[in-house]
Structure 1
Amino acid sequence: MGKKQLWMVIAALIMLNCLTVAFFLSRADEAGGAAVNEEAVATVGEKAITRQEWLNELETRYGKDVLKEMIDQKVIVEMAAKYKIKISDQDVEREYRMLQTTYNSFSSKKIQNEKKWKGQIRNSLLLEELLTKDVVVSNKELKSYYDKNKHLFNVPAAYHLSHIIVKTKEEANKASKELARGSSFSTLAMERSIEEFSANEGGDIGYISEEDERYPTQYIETAKKLKKGAFSKPFKVKQGYALLKLEGKVSGKSYSYDDVKEEIRRQIALEQMKTPASAATFWDESKVEWFYGDNKKAN
């Protein structure tokens, strides 16, 4: 499993966790009785969609995946304890920093889930360590891998930005004056920005770095001059005129061979595996029985 694959898996797990929370918190409401189950969560004309209908649909579509993910998380924790495997905070922080600077969807709303992201990163690294715990890779091979792939361990400086794009200079100057008087950048972005996708997020475009080709180089040049929370003067872009706000910054960092030696060992070992990296490898050892499995208990 390569780095990008790992980060995609982590992102998918976070989304799955959101479904888990929505689904099981809603299930918990059922304790209130039939009245809660018959509560309308939506109406179309005179017809209603009840909470119970919604929950049944959620279970049909996502129930198996959510339950499997919950089982996997418990299996990983149990097996890590059994084999006395731990992941350092430094390793988690390194992967989180890399994720921040490469995954486009790290907006201000999603960054609030930092604890969940780091929890998923830790579990993913624990799984990698479990799967490769018996694999020995020579120092020569480890060093060779590092020397050939140093760029993978260099985290570029990244800037968390929001922007407002309007068609004319007059509109941009008007927005700039309103911001100077204390207007909310995110509110103005939702109301005025013609870039619809980011406007819906209050102008938030996540983290960008100098390697990012989605936005003009002027974005980075402007961001470097801003203090956190400050916004720029209007400047010309292809769609019209833009104003930037610096939401935050991640400093660049290069990791040494010693910092990432164990990560490289896992990476080489995983690349040699012929089967997908999955917690299901340990299900039998953990004596898993589940509702969807052939070995489910009869009730």
Structure 2
Amino acid sequence: MKSNLDRNRNANEPSKRRLKTKPLVLLIVVLAIGNLLWFINWVVPKKAESPFQVGEEVASVAGKPITREQWMTAMEKTVGREVLLGLVNDQVMETAAKEYNIDISDEDIDRELALLSSLDGKAYTGLDAEQMRRKVRSELILNRVLTKDIVIDDKAVKAYYEKNEAQFEIPTTYRTSLLVASTESDAKQALKELKGGSSFDVLAKERSIDSSSASIGGDLGYISSRTEEVDPAILEKAKKSKEKDVSSVFKLSDDTYAVIQVSDVLKGRSFKLKEVQEHIRRELALQQLSQSVSPETFWQEFDAHWFYGK
């Protein structure tokens, strides 16, 4: 028979165990609350701070302000649709590349740029280097998607190459921007401003009297010995210019004066058949299509939607 002392000890043990578990339970509760607060803070995003102030003034006329909102709305109406269309189409083509396991390398883009610049130097005027490469990439993806099921035999590819071999002898091409002034003094003043840090693109839009290039910042695209519509003096100056530098003032054949800037040089090269056979195969396959196809054709397939509706 247990003693009273034993009974008392046994009676107190549950109470002691309960007392010992209280700190542990409290700790678990505190940790749970902390985790909950962290989770809420992680899931619920903080309100993004706008880099612009509401009603911020960007210009004024006769004391009447033009706000940033007005400016952005006007830009959205004038160029917003075209810019967004380009972004959507680029993304559609990237999705198509994944869907159809199409790989476009930097070498593919370089080759396409070299071939294109010698045939149509103005193909990508108005685009900077990054935009130009992105557009070439999208076009390559589109063309590969369209021609993936068309078979062109090797004999046809070889025959095309032999018939058009001169097309694959690529001269050096120069991505050139032009600013034309009616007098030498005006051209020198423009050069002084360019040397002082003014943007060639902006100054050409403001000052150049060459209407065909002024609206796109003086961009002539890629010019070479094959470019017929450009004053020979411009090409000669481009050959002597260093990339990114602004040239000295020089006279054109119509007695106007100009300065140029060469932003990129694609060295001339000769392409062997094996280097361009896939390019030729794709071009021959595209000729078999009954109509031209744009990236918008694939919007439905890849569930593309945008702000402007259908």
Q: 1:245 to 1:119 in 2, by over 3 A?
A: closer
Which one of 133, 139, 154 corresponds to residue 154 of structure 2? Answer: 139
- The reply to whether residue 68 of structure 1 matches residue 76 of structure 2 is no
Q: 1:121 to 1:292 in 2, by over 3 A?
A: same
Alignment-derived partner of residue 257 in structure 1: 273
Q: 1:90 to 1:44 in 2, by over 3 A?
A: same
Distance in 2, Cα, partners of 1:165 & 1:51: 33
Distance in 1, Cα, partners of 2:55 & 2:230: 48
Q: Report if aligned partners of 2:246, 2:259 keep a CA contact under 8 Å in 1.
A: no
Alignment-derived partner of residue 55 in structure 1: 72
Q: Which runs of 5+ in 1 are unaligned?
A: 1-29, 295-299
Which one of 71, 75, 79 corresponds to residue 96 of structure 2? Answer: 79
TM-score, length basis structure 1: 0.62
Distance in 1, Cα, partners of 2:116 & 2:51: 44
Distance in 1, Cα, partners of 2:115 & 2:53: 44
Q: Report if aligned partners of 1:186, 1:203 keep a CA contact under 8 Å in 2.
A: no
Does 1 or 2 have the higher relative contact order (CA < 8 Å, sep 6+)? 1
Alignment-derived partner of residue 121 in structure 2: 103
Equivalent AA in structure 2 for residue 133 of structure 1: K
Distance in 1, Cα, partners of 2:292 & 2:123: 26
Equivalent AA in structure 2 for residue 77 of structure 1: E
Q: Structure 1 residue 58: deviation in Å?
A: 3.3
- The reply to whether residue 91 of structure 1 matches residue 108 of structure 2 is yes
Q: Deviation digits for residues 125-184 of structure 1, max 9, x if unmatched?
A: 011111211111122222233233334333222345678878899x7xxx7xx99xxx94
Equivalent AA in structure 2 for residue 157 of structure 1: T
Alignment-derived partner of residue 24 in structure 2: none
Alignment-derived partner of residue 3 in structure 2: none
Which one of 262, 278, 298 corresponds to residue 282 of structure 1? Answer: 298
Q: 1:81 to 1:156 in 2, by over 3 A?
A: same
Instruction: Give the count of matched residue pairs.
Output: 251
Equivalent AA in structure 2 for residue 250 of structure 1: L
Distance in 1, Cα, partners of 2:302 & 2:169: 38
Distance in 2, Cα, partners of 1:199 & 1:137: 43
Structure of higher CA gyration radius: 2
Alignment-derived partner of residue 16 in structure 2: none
Q: Report if aligned partners of 2:181, 2:258 keep a CA contact under 8 Å in 1.
A: yes
Distance in 2, Cα, partners of 1:245 & 1:61: 28
Listed as ranges, the matches of 1:1-299 within 5 Å are: 32=49, 36-100=53-117, 102-104=120-122, 113-159=128-174, 184=195, 196-197=209-210, 207-217=222-232, 219-220=234-235, 237-239=253-255, 249-293=265-309
